[in-house]
Amino acid sequence: MSVKKTAQEWKAILSPLQFKVLREKGTERAFVGKYTDNYKKGVYNCAGCNSPLYTSESKFKTHCGWPSFFQAVPNAITLHEDNSLGMQRTEIVCTNCGGHLGHLFKNEGHSVPTGERHCINSISLNFEE
């Protein structure tokens, strides 16, 4: 991680919901995120540090309620085992700032080259055309 800030510094630059998701590992409600149905060409950057995370070429429709991608920009994300809420999942965080982005799911039957679905909170992203 190259971006290190205190909780107060993060609170000064993030909205309350962004802080809850990015810094406290929260989740925004399904089907409310502004990028869930965005299919314009561009790059999705971390809302915390503006590092490029995903490109529009890896975004696909899943109707799960959150933006879904089949691969990240190389070295942009870090994966962690997440056994919270009585489930076994893989958490996705921004490599640059450690912000929580969402979770990784594998082999759900989607027609994507990697067999992966990166289920990402819209509030964790900024989109750049």
pLDDT tens profile 23-61: 999 999 999 999 999 999 999 999 999 999 999 999 999
- Between CA 56 and CA 24 the distance in angstroms is 27
Q: What is the pLDDT of residue 3?
A: 84
In a domain, 59, yes or no: yes
90 - beta bridge partners?
81, 104
Would you call 46 a catalytic residue per the annotation? no
Our count of domains for the chain comes to: 1
Q: Which of the residues 49, 94, 97, 119 is marked catalytic? A: 119
In a domain, 44, yes or no: yes
> In the numeric block, which tokens belong to residue 38?
């965005």
> In the numeric block, which tokens belong to residue 129?
């055309």
* pLDDT tens-place string over residues 99-112: 999 999 998 989 99
Q: Which residues contact 127 (CB under 8 A, 6 or more apart)?
A: 35, 38, 40, 42, 43, 44, 45
CATH at 87: 2.170.150.20
What is the domain range of residue 23?
7-128
CA torsion, ordered 2, 84, 13, 117, to nearest 10 deg: 70
126 - beta bridge partners?
45
In a domain, 2, yes or no: no
In a domain, 1, yes or no: no
In a domain, 56, yes or no: yes
Q: What is the pTM of this model?
A: 0.93
